[in-house]
Amino acid sequence: MSTAVLPEITAALPVATLPAAAPDPPPGRPAFASSLGLALRERWDLDRRALLGLAVLLVLALGYGVQHFWAGRPEAVAVPAPAVEGTAAVGTGSPSPGSSGGASSAGGPAPGSTAIAALVVDVSGKVRNPGLRTLPPGSRVQDALNAAGGPLPGTDLTGLNLARKVNDGEEIIVGGPPPGGPAGAAHASGPLSLSSATAAQLDALPGIGPVLAQRIIAFREQHGGFQSVDQLRQVPGFGERRLQDLRAQLRP
């Protein structure tokens, strides 16, 4: 083959087209991508910290709210029941018959007797202001003398027991013979007062022993004194014959 034909053959052959190469990245792109990834990681770290802090705040707020609600809730206060009079005696048991009998024999007031609010005594004799005087319960002879202005100067008080408690309706004679005493003295100074006589004075009367004397005093305390000698008929054990024998020696 001649050399003249080669150019024609070469021109008739197809020309192979090579793919275009990728363009080179512009300068600085790897640095931008690296900084963007770093920024995203930092942002995620910040968001995670913010979420963690927010969660802690929510837990604290919830705990405070629960504590505040629990402390402020109303509480039931137990109100003590009012004390009822007489409940102390319930459950202690009723007193035995022996104890009640002992209390009665000890000289206490009889059942049904009323407490005396005040004592009225008659202070006579050598005092500045003789007459009736009202004294509080538990008063003594000295209190009665003070209420009457005191004894007159030079009055002999030897026969008076100033520490003795007075009874309601009693007569206190200052500077004179006592209102009662032994049987012989009763006739000398006058009849014995049933409202002021002591148990010893009543016991000294003929036919009256210590038991009957205590019954007379119990009747006097229960009824506030004697209004008449005939009231002795109401004293248990005091018969009509004994009353007639002692009537001249007694007065209310």
Domains of the chain: 115-176 (3.10.20.600), 179-252 (1.10.150.320)
Determine the pLDDT at residue 217. Answer: 92
Task: List the one residue out of 196, 153, 151 whose CA is nearest residue 171.
Answer: 196
Determine the pLDDT at residue 139. Answer: 94
Determine the pLDDT at residue 144. Answer: 93
User: Using alpha carbons only, how large is the chain's radius of gyration in Å?
Assistant: 61
Determine the pLDDT at residue 142. Answer: 94
Query: Which residue numbers in the chain have pLDDT < 50?
Result: 1, 84-109, 111-113, 179-188
CA distances from 236 to 66, 78, 196, 241 (A): 82, 57, 19, 14
Cβ-proximal residues to 109 (8 Å cutoff; 6+ apart), any chain: 115, 218, 221, 222
Q: pTM for the full model?
A: 0.31
